[in-house]
Amino acid sequence: MTPNKTATTLADGRELIYFDLGADAGQRKIDTRSLPPVSTTAQMRWDPLLEEWVMMASHRQDRTFLPPTDECPLCPSVNGRRTEIPADDYDVVVFENRFPSLSTGAALDGAGGDHPLVEVRPAVGRCEVVCFSSDHSRRFADLTPGHARLVVDVWADRTVTLSRVEGVEQVFCFESRGEEIGVTLSHPHGQIYAYPFTTPRTSRMLQAAAHHRRRTGGDLHTDVLDAECRSGIRVVAENEHWVAFVPAAARWPLEVHLYPRRRVKSIPDLDDAERDALVVIYLDLLARLDRMFDMALPYIAAWHQGPVDDHDDLGYLHAQLFSIRRSADKLKYLAGSEAGMGAFVTDALPEQVARRLREL
């Protein structure tokens, strides 16, 4: 399915794109706000101790923080109140973040550069906001299958477009929900980062996959998925094209991985049948998570896509959904071992979590 797209420009020059379910695009008004220029001073610095890039964007200190509902910047512009979306209604909207960690126009402002082992570069890339619905009170789990399918198609569209941006090495689609998880805007939305490097987690997974291939000749993700399907004890839900399971070495109190049965590297590689089946199992999975403690669960849904140039053919698309809530009235905070050393201690056995999610 190819969504109907309408591109426009906001008052400060940022791109905004409407994605519509039908031909009726609603009223596409011009953004008449008076906005300051978007900062392009974001930079990234090389950590020689961990051999990782760290992004630095001090202008993000001024970003919008937990506004009341009637001041939400992601709602449509109605009754004279102007927001980030000039239209009075929309299905799905994508726009460049007003407070980006990565920017196509990023340039160094002279800060840093005094350490011989710490390389400093402009944080060239792109950060986008994806508004899933114009309804402020709607959760992703509340979307109709057709609307959710539109979001999947938007992820695919943006992955293709951003992968073509010069210097971009990886595209990351994700959703964060809940103040407990650190969300500062409660409107149903996600984000997309187009990184100028391969992220640490992806790099580590690629290293593990390469080691597994050298050792066994097999594909690591395929073998993990096959093992979970054969066991079945940690499988939460499945259909013809997808399998959702709690990983055997889960780090978070609630963590579910969602894999396509056919190995693909990115969301655009999914065919229509796989996208339709994804919508069914994904909406079901989100509903199960919310029933776990009879409340809207704070979570992060992270879509792991292979890097733009996967020369060694090691990537395997999958989603990782996890929450810091470990009971109805308790949150998991990163303790010393986890925050200081990266060595996780899990609060619940994966088999118990999977059984509970199946029951729900």
Q: What is the pLDDT of residues 144-193, one digit of tens each?
A: 999 999 999 999 999 999 999 999 999 999 999 999 999 999 999 999 99
**Maximum distance among all Cα pairs of the chain, rounded to whole angstroms:** 64
pLDDT 10s digit of each residue in the chain, 360 long? Answer: 678 999 999 999 999 999 999 866 555 789 999 999 999 899 999 999 999 999 999 989 988 999 999 999 999 999 889 999 999 999 999 999 999 999 999 999 878 889 999 999 999 999 999 999 999 999 999 999 999 999 999 999 999 999 999 999 999 999 999 999 999 999 999 999 999 999 999 999 999 999 999 999 999 999 999 999 999 999 999 999 999 999 999 999 999 999 999 999 999 999 999 999 999 999 999 999 999 999 999 999 999 999 999 999 999 999 999 999 999 999 999 999 999 999 999 989 999 999 999 999
- Can you tell me the distance from the alpha carbon of 241 to that of 230, in angstroms, rounded to the nearest whole number? 16
Half-sphere exposure in the Cβ direction for 56 (13 Å, CA): 18
Separation of first and last alpha carbons in the chain: 32
Cβ atoms within 10 Å of 330's Cβ, excluding its own: 12
Question: Choosing from 59, 115, 147, 189, which is the catalytic residue?
Answer: 189
**59 in active site:** no
Query: Residue 255 forms beta bridges with which residues?
Result: 322
For residue 26, what pLDDT is reported?
A: 53
pTM for the model:
0.96
Q: Please provide the DSSP assignment of 255-314 as one string.
A: EEEEEESS--SSGGG--HHHHHHHHHHHHHHHHHHHHHTTS---EEEEEE---S--TT--
For residue 24, what pLDDT is reported?
A: 60
For residue 246, what pLDDT is reported?
A: 98
Give the total residue count for the chain. Answer: 360
- Can you tell me the distance from the alpha carbon of 320 to that of 7, in angstroms, rounded to the nearest whole number? 31
Q: What is the pLDDT of residues 45-97, one digit of tens each?
A: 999 999 999 999 998 998 899 999 999 999 999 988 999 999 999 999 999 99
For residue 25, what pLDDT is reported?
A: 56
Q: Which domains does the chain have, with CATH numbers?
A: 4-197 (3.30.428.10), 201-359 (3.30.428.10)
